Structure 1
Amino acid sequence: EGEGFKTVLPARATAKVSFRLVPGQDPERIRAAFRAHVNAALPSDCRARFTPHGGSTGIALPPDGPFMDAALGALSAEWAPNRAVVIGGGGSIPVVSDLREVLGMDTLLIGFALDDDRIHAPNEKYDLASFHKGIRAWVRVLDALAS
């Protein structure tokens, strides 16, 4: 155990695993399937212990809905000549599905980044220009949604 180089196999290993689910996937069913898969692959002299840390269903927004069009137009205006793009991400962040299920509200998750930014990566980097343009872009988005 402990940090540093080892010449023998350690007695214990740990891992943190998370899944980003898509609409229609049940978090409890995915959790059970993962546990079953791990347990089925374990050698007979090994055991696994699982500690759950929540879970939520995935959601998706229509890519051509009125809120999306307004947000994309506002973002593109701030970041011109670059056009804002839509990527799938964050749809299984618990608060996003809670807002839809509890309050009946859809949520836009909007990020601001350059091609070489590495948010949440080991070599994390976020350009200060993205932060400042992000502030201005949010003003544009809120104005567009209010209109």
Structure 2
Amino acid sequence: MLEQIWARPTAEVNGISGGYTGEGFKTVLPATAKAKVSFRLVGGQDPDKVRAAFRAFVTERLPADAKVAFHPHGGSPGLTLSQDNPALRKALAALSAEWGKPAAIIGGGGSIPVVGHFKDILGMDSLMIGFGLGDDRIHSPNEKYDLTSFAGGQRSWARVLAALAE
């Protein structure tokens, strides 16, 4: 399960629309349909290649009397950070000192565009450090964030930045 969450790519259908969507019953064949999709990439995956493969997959299965249009909305390669990274080691030590127990390394399984830009433009890795709790329900309609996590996060960042400055 952790491998699926942390290290495997995903393809998501974020929304589908088409045909009659109003109140009541209609027996109408839709003239158009739309789908919004996204892909979570992992280290080494190229968004342009994934986009091309998806387009080829859809196009090859399209009926002769149908047409398709694609509208890209950006993309960023999936990145990984070596556990031997010196900045990560310093951050882990600072976080462990703040919280009084060993900091956990977990995979994030996401391709966040700005992280890729930092790597490409500045030539530097990014540390993605989170302070959320397991029951925070990140990105859900009833998301929350405890004030203790906020305060601990502030202190943690002060320690991490001091450790990185050494």
Task: Identify the TM-score tier after normalising by the shorter chain.
Answer: 0.7 to 0.9
Which piece of structure 1 moves more, 55-64 or 38-47?
38-47
**C-alpha displacement of 1:111:** 1.1
Q: What are the within-5 Å matches in structure 2 for residues 63-102 of structure 1? A: 63-81=83-101, 83-89=102-108, 92-102=111-121
Aligned pair in 2 of structure 1 residues 33, 9: CA closer, same or farther (>3 Å)? farther
Is the counterpart of residue 60 in structure 1 residue 88 in structure 2?
no
**How many residues in Structure 1 have an aligned counterpart in Structure 2?**
146
The one-letter code matched in structure 2 to 1:125 is K
In the other structure, the counterpart of 1:14 is 34
**C-alpha displacement of 1:15:** 3.2
In the other structure, the counterpart of 2:155 is 136
**TM superposition score normalised by structure 1:** 0.81
**Greater strand proportion:** 2
Give percent identity, aligned residues only: 58
- Give the counterpart of 2:146 among 127, 133, 139: 127
Cα pair 1:22 1:92 within 8 Å, conserved? yes
How big is the alpha-carbon RMSD for the aligned residues of Structure 1 and Structure 2? Answer: 2.6
In the other structure, the counterpart of 1:32 is 52
Aligned pair in 2 of structure 1 residues 133, 35: CA closer, same or farther (>3 Å)? same
Aligned pair in 2 of structure 1 residues 45, 128: CA closer, same or farther (>3 Å)? farther
The runs of 5 or more residues in structure 2 that have no matched partner are 1-19
**TM superposition score normalised by structure 2:** 0.73
The one-letter code matched in structure 2 to 1:92 is S
